[in-house]
Amino acid sequence: MAQRLHLVFGGELVDPSRTEFRDTNNIHVVGIFPDYSSAFAAWKAEAQRTVDSAHTRYFIAHLHRLRDEEREISATEELGG
């Protein structure tokens, strides 16, 4: 089975209704996790730790969904399937 890595990161946003960071130099990288459940646990811990800061938000990026831009893609992949 393919490895499904997840990146947890976050920081202060310009506006809590958008996903633009106030200062990209201060993005907090929590870590890379081998599965969604451990990434979710890390995300939840950081979200709870920063609950009093309305402008701070954390995200889970599914690294296994990234692809090599140099590799040719299939027609299905191109359509988003």
Report the alpha-carbon distance of residue 80 to residue 70 in Å, rounded.
18
Closest CA to 22 of 54, 49, 64: 54
3 state SS of 60 = strand
Domains of the chain by start residue, with CATH = 1-14+27-59 (3.30.70.2400)
- pLDDT, tens digit (0-9, with 9 covering 90-100), for 39-52: 999 999 999 999 99
Report the alpha-carbon distance of residue 51 to residue 71 in Å, rounded.
41
Report whether 43 contacts 30 (CB < 8 A).
yes
- pLDDT, tens digit (0-9, with 9 covering 90-100), for 2-33: 678 999 999 999 999 999 999 999 999 999 99
Report the alpha-carbon distance of residue 65 to residue 67 in Å, rounded.
6
